[in-house]
Amino acid sequence: MNLETLKRRFLEYLEIERGRSLKTIENYDRYLSTFLSFTKASKPDEITDELIRSYRLWLNRKPSGKSLDGRPDTLKKKTQNYYLIAVRSFLKYLMRCGIESLSPERIELAKTPERSLDLISSLELERLLSSPEGEDLKSLRDKAILELLFSTGLRVSELCSLSRDLDPDADEFSIRGKGDKVRVVFVSERAKEALRTYLEKRVDVDDALFIQLSKNKESKNDKRLSPRSVERIVQSYARKAGITKKVTPHVVRHSFATDLLQNGADLRSVQALLGHAHIGTTQIYTHVTDTHLKEIHKRYHKNK
């Protein structure tokens, strides 16, 4: 079989047997199509070390718009790795099917700089959560969104997937997150109160928990909020709260994780609450919550 046919079967395998989301499959299709278009390879045995080396050079030099100073920018190492991971996964699939090709272990990922966190202070966070002040449905909805994001650490896509049958009096609920994995998240009293107040104000019959509130009177059906809409909501309240940093739902998720760690939670528990598949993903928070190092600095540094 040629590589185009094998690529199609690989994508079907990801969808049916691995249960990957359609968005993930769409991304893999794009990454692999880019690889096949560049290399012109048509058979599995045509994928060689030299071909991968040429592809990596091309990725490293591939333009991706312009930088702030106006000069041409290139793909970030992290983005290059997405392309390489797709090829490596495809080669693992070929190996699984007993098809001769390059070993996936031959593809090493590019070294990436340590991930930095966009954080806001506890005072900024409190100002953000307190920003929705009105008693109208939009203000109550936005208050519930912000409180629930911080109480649960939900990803924005997970928040948007919630249905109206969520019990506002429950201390916890299950959510199906990344990789189709289910985890339990917990709801604070503030978040429960915000949810109750918001739901009591609702008079529509839409199934979504968080809905668009159209000003167009001809629009009969309210629709589920999209992740992009929630991002705009969070950013607008951050501006209202006088926060100059860029604030997104993911920044609120960071605040949730660092708040837990700063108050004594262990890394494994935070990993479970965030729904991280690997502990390494959660470890990005440790360098901002290491109070021991802060105490060492205070005690021994001469410029106290």
Contact 271, 257 (CB under 8 A): no
Can 276 be counted among the known catalytic residues?
yes
Task: Flag whether 279 is in a domain.
Answer: yes
Total number of domains constituting the chain: 2
- Whether residues 101 and 224 share a domain: the answer is no
160-197, pLDDT tens digit by residue?
999 999 999 999 999 998 877 899 999 999 999 999 99
More confident call, 85 vs 115: 85
pLDDT of residue 22: 87
Q: What would the mean pLDDT of 109-133 be, rounded to a whole number?
A: 86
- Whether residues 160 and 262 share a domain: the answer is yes
pTM, to two decimals = 0.71
Q: How far is Cα 140 from Cα 153, in angstroms, rounded to an integer?
A: 20
Look over the chain and give the mean of its residue pLDDT values, rounded to a whole number: 89
- Whether residues 153 and 269 share a domain: the answer is yes
List the domain range (segments joined by +) for residue 215: 122-295
Task: Flag whether 284 is in a domain.
Answer: yes
Catalytic residue among 56, 92, 127, 250: 250
pLDDT of residue 74: 87
- Whether residues 83 and 56 share a domain: the answer is yes
The residue type of 94 is: L
Catalytic residue among 28, 83, 93, 285: 285
Q: How far is Cα 102 from Cα 106, in angstroms, rounded to an integer?
A: 7
Task: Flag whether 111 is in a domain.
Answer: no
Pick from 55, 77, 106: which residue ends a domain? 106
Task: Flag whether 247 is in a domain.
Answer: yes
- Whether residues 237 and 279 share a domain: the answer is yes
Measured in degrees and rounded to the nearest 5, phi and psi for residue 170 equal -75, 145
15-34, pLDDT tens digit by residue?
999 888 888 999 999 999 99
- Whether residues 285 and 156 share a domain: the answer is yes
Rounded (10°) CA dihedral 104, 271, 156, 66: -50
pLDDT of residue 218: 46
- Whether residues 87 and 222 share a domain: the answer is no
Task: Flag whether 94 is in a domain.
Answer: yes
Contact 151, 260 (CB under 8 A): no
- Whether residues 128 and 101 share a domain: the answer is no
Can 239 be counted among the known catalytic residues?
no
- Whether residues 43 and 147 share a domain: the answer is no
CATH of the domain at 85: 1.10.150.130
- Whether residues 93 and 178 share a domain: the answer is no
Structure tokens at 272: 């479970």
Can 287 be counted among the known catalytic residues?
no
Can 220 be counted among the known catalytic residues?
no
Can 250 be counted among the known catalytic residues?
yes
Q: What would the mean pLDDT of 201-219 be, rounded to a whole number?
A: 81
Task: Flag whether 112 is in a domain.
Answer: no
**Three-class SS of residue 80?**
helix
Catalytic residue among 9, 178, 201, 202: 178
Task: Flag whether 115 is in a domain.
Answer: no
Can 178 be counted among the known catalytic residues?
yes
Q: How far is Cα 295 from Cα 300, in angstroms, rounded to an integer?
A: 9
- Whether residues 234 and 132 share a domain: the answer is yes
Catalytic residue among 7, 141, 155, 254: 155
